[in-house]
């Protein structure tokens, strides 16, 4: 699973920079994004156009009882989970992240997982409007693959940049066809290192959080 990540959008790829609304978020820098906070993401609007928007991290359908939210969804189960009904087929998004945090052991030692080339990770997600019209999202997770540090049994679904159009296409609604069209990044692109335990507190949000200790 993923419960904290960094979002450094000072250097967007050409693919993301050309998406509508990118100028509103280019340069946004967060080093400790946590549940319930707003974060930039890319989605397909009602007319099939790719757009940037601000999403609350915590998927919250208007019918959710007691204000229930979920920040993660298992990619292998999301299509059959009634809480996320219709999301995988019609409401997918991409959450650009410079890396995510994992805590390992007890007491927990935090680690930062990112791409070794410094490029942004494109985390697949699903979104929905809540009962006040706010866009909310959950990050998709998959079983952990080697090179993710063996820190957790799950990891974010990290998409290859060449399938951005396919992931956001409103015409791709069948799960089988989606799986054929969408690719994950090569896991050897990932690297990780231990970071300060300051990241375990929501009070801190600075570049020092991702520095190696």
pLDDT given at position 147: 64
pLDDT given at position 169: 95
Closest CA to 182 of 98, 122, 119, 111: 122
pLDDT given at position 7: 96
Closest CA to 198 of 187, 209, 185: 209
Look up the pTM and report it. 0.95
Q: CA 159, 163, 168, 170 torsion: positive or negative?
A: negative
Domains of the chain, each with CATH number or no CATH: 4-210 (3.90.1680.10)
The H-assigned helical ranges of the chain are 14-17, 87-90, 164-168, 175-181
pLDDT given at position 205: 97
pLDDT given at position 68: 84
pLDDT given at position 94: 98
Tens of each residue's pLDDT in the chain, 213 residues: 799 999 999 989 999 999 999 999 999 999 999 999 999 999 998 788 999 999 999 999 988 767 789 999 999 999 999 999 999 999 999 999 999 999 887 888 999 999 999 999 999 999 999 999 999 999 999 999 876 666 889 999 999 999 999 999 999 999 999 999 999 999 899 999 999 999 999 999 999 999 999
- Does residue 107 have a cis peptide bond before it, meaning omega lies within 30 degrees of 0? yes
């Amino acid at each position: 699973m993923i419960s904290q990540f960094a979002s450094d959008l000072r250097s967007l790829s050409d693919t993301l920079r050309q998406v509508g609304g990118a100028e509103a978020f280019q340069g946004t820098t967060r080093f400790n994004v946590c549940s319930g906070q707003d974060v930039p993401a890319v989605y397909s609007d009602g007319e099939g156009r790719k757009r940037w928007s601000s999403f609350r991290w915590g998927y919250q359908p208007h019918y959710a009882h007691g204000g229930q939210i979920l920040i993660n969804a298992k990619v292998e189960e999301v299509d059959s989970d009634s809480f996320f009904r219709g999301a995988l087929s019609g409401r997918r998004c991409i959450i650009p992240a410079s890396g995510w945090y994992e805590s390992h052991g007890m007491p927990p030692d935090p680690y930062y997982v990112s791409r070794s080339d410094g490029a942004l990770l494109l985390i697949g997600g699903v979104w929905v409007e809540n009962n006040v019209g706010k866009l909310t999202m959950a990050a998709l997770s998959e079983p952990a693959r080697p090179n993710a540090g063996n820190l957790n049994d799950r990891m974010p679904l990290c998409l290859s940049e060449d399938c951005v159009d396919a992931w956001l296409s409103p015409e791709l609604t069948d799960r089988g066809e989606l799986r054929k069209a969408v690719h994950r990044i090569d896991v050897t692109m990932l690297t990780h290192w231990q970071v300060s335990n300051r990241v375990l507190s929501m009070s801190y949000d600075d570049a020092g959080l991702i520095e190696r200790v």
